[in-house]
A = this chain, B = another copy of it.
Amino acid sequence: MKQFVTFGELMLSLGTTGNHRLVQSETFTAHYVGAEANVAVSLAHFGVEAYEVSKVPSHEIGQACINALRRYGVRTEYILRGGDRLGLLYKETGASQRPTKVIYDRTHSAIRQIAPGEIDWDAIFAGKDWFHISGSSVALGPEVVAVIAPALAAAKRAGLTVSCDCNYRRKLWSMEQAGKVLSRLLENIDVFICGRDDPHTIFGIPRDGLDGLAGRHRDQRAAELMLERFRLDSLAMTVREGISASVNGLSALLCRHGKTYFSPRYEMQMVDRVGSGDAFAAGLIFGLMSEFEPQRAVDFATAAACLKHSIPGDCNLSSREEVEQLVAGGESGRVQR
């Protein structure tokens, strides 16, 4: 059984129900989420032993957060208890021409209150295979970077593969800041995941030479340039077409050891889009961990991301078999009975 570790903020996600707007809502659904925890949950569903490292308050809401991870099979023994508050977010699921909106309320949350040395990374990483982080936790600022940077170094020391999902959030930091901080961390990262625009807008990869190329060749070229610049082992790029808040297109490419592999494209009628990037990351990590051929890995990751769109909440509660069934062509239009 492969051993996976991730670190990041855990939050309470308060969602409206039935397409209601936030100002209409008299009830909120409560999901306990985190870009990294979502990856851990998905990997646990694929049969990986997945550990979350984080910090949540010692009160009942902190406990509820831990319970949610335990319920879905994530190991929680490395989660610290303490700090003032659990970060939270309000989520309004859009529809048709109305976009989904997220309001963050993450200031002064417990994860920013981790003391230096409070986490013993060397102990944690002993016997583990993979470490994963997300740019949306890096974005929380210096207190969190001060935890992540030594973690990356320790992970490399311990021989883990290290992955990072870019997850740029404009409500948390500017593209410039993101570029500066992430570029530094990329030194210790093997596998990087980003969206189609991120190489250009965040890392300053020039679009110039790419103008004459068709869409996917431009994506491929940008991926290759990223791989080179940051001496990555692999770079995966998701290409999302935001047709509307109800329908999206999705495809991806994986550039690995210099070769590029393209996934098929899916068009999804969306139930809940949030977390689909994390589902992609989990699918990719699972594929690479399991030493799938690169083509199979990117196909698996994209099918995993596709399935997430049909599931409420941030987590891809799909089994390996279900993802592989979709890769194999699926029978989504039939009733399984």
Chain A positions within 8 Å of B, measured between CB atoms, are 14, 17-30, 59-61, 63-64, 67-68, 70-73, 84-86, 89-90, 92, 94-105, 107-108, 169-171, 240-248, 266, 268-271, 273-274, 303, 306-307, 309-313, 317-318, 322, 326, 330-337
Contact = CB atoms under 8 A, between A and B. Distances in A.
A140 B314 CA distance: 35
Given A19-B311, A97-B306, 12 more contacts: A23-B60, A23-B64, A60-B101, A61-B103, A67-B72, A70-B73, A84-B105, A86-B105, A94-B332, A99-B334, A101-B335, A102-B337
A320 to B, nearest CB: 14
A110 to B, nearest CB: 11
Contact of A95 (B18, B84, B269, B331): B269
Contacts of A17: 18
Nearest to A244: B332
Complex copy number for this chain:
6
A84 B103 CA distance: 11
Contacts of A269: 95-96, 244, 246-247
A68 B92 CA distance: 18
B30 A28 contact: yes
A306 B245 CA distance: 13
Contacts of A335: 99-102, 273-274
A312 B73 contact: no
Contacts of A246: 269
Contacts of A105: 84-86
A270 B98 CA distance: 11
Nearest to A270: B96
Contacts of A240: 333
A25 B169 contact: no
